[in-house]
Amino acid sequence: MPAPLASPDDPVGLLRPRIQQALDAFLDGQRELLGAASPQTLPLVDAAAAFLSGGKRLRPTFCYWGWRAAGGSPSDEALVTAGAALELFQASALVHDDLIDASDTRRGLPSVHRRFATLHRDAGWQGDPDAFGAAAAILLGDMLLAWSAEVFDQATVPGERLRAARTVFDRMRTEVGGGQYLDMLEQVSGGGLPGGQADRARTVIRYKSAGYSVQHPLVIGGALAGAPEPLLASYRRFGLALGEAFQLRDDVLGVFGDPDRTGKPTGDDLREGKRTLLVAYALERATPAQAALVSARLGDPSLDLDGVTALRSVLVDTGALDRVEALVTDLVTDAHSTLDTADVTDDGRKALSQLIELTTERTH
């Protein structure tokens, strides 16, 4: 009998290398297909391969344990296929997100649009290197999105289960697009849209991140295993709470984290002008001077270390950081309580409990 892909004591286990193998094999096929058209297209595949190399494999892990906690086989290859599809979708979202945010790096390497701008400059081609890099990133992001569906449909499970999971997969991709648009609106409006800024920030988190980071992968795994609706409902509640906590932790690290751990320059989220819940909470209690500082410096692409330090001080002094940390604690408690009452396998319960801690650990 094949070895389990993961265990409760090692929730990621063999998933990481097996999914990497699946991605490499798929990209080899795309390299052959595109190379037959023209070798000049191969930098697209090379960029995809570099982008898909490594990573935490968080979404495939939740998909696997959504399957396994519902009684699915510990070694089924269908979960490798579904996990690879989730990684392709995440790569698509991140390529486009980096372009929208004008981010220079991703995981310590040049972002895709910067990579292709450099290719243009080094080759001495005509026109604007940055415009070329942006166009190439759009194309590659679109290709990764299409590839995610292509791979997902190759998962070898009974047709009705695949169709049920594909419905969730498609909803996830739509929600991320809507969440990204809402995130853009927050930045260009300066937080001046109708409704409470904190409520809007949490809506962005749920649609842009929490759903596709934890909730939907978990439900996809359950649907692939044929889980009953009561269990899928527990997955949705657990996944939303944990997914939001995970993104809030990421937002904190984006401001206060160590660049060696986050893979992004210090204060990059502040330079990009991200209207996170941290910022919303700070503005609720800011003095006029503090609010003026946030208005003047948040979103400044030339923000230096002194500016980062000043904005960090506002987030701390207004109590915004403490409030976000308290919310993370409440969401983690909700995730644990939901898991405690869910009808899952013992191995699934243990692994998902471990994953709560792994995805929300405090490292700043």
- pLDDT (tens digit, 9 = 90+) per residue, 115-140? 999 999 999 999 999 999 999 999 99
pLDDT of residue 103: 85
pLDDT of residue 72: 96
pLDDT of residue 195: 67
Quick: pLDDT tens for 220-279: 999 999 999 999 999 999 999 999 999 999 999 989 987 766 666 778 889 888 889 999
Is the pLDDT confidence value at 155 over 90? yes
**Pick from 83-87, 169-173, 266-270: least confident:** 266-270
Q: Say how far apart CA 88 and CA 14 lie, in whole Å.
A: 18
Residue % of the chain over a pLDDT of 70: 96
Quick: pLDDT tens for 184-227: 888 788 666 666 889 999 999 999 899 999 999 999 999 999 99
Helix (H, G, I), strand (E, B) or coil at 301: coil
Is the pLDDT confidence value at 364 over 60? no
Domain 15-360: which CATH number of 1.10.8.60, 3.40.50.10190, 1.10.600.10, 1.10.10.10: 1.10.600.10
Is the pLDDT confidence value at 351 over 70? yes
Residue type, 230: P
Instruction: Name the residue ranges covered by the structural domains of the chain.
Output: 15-360
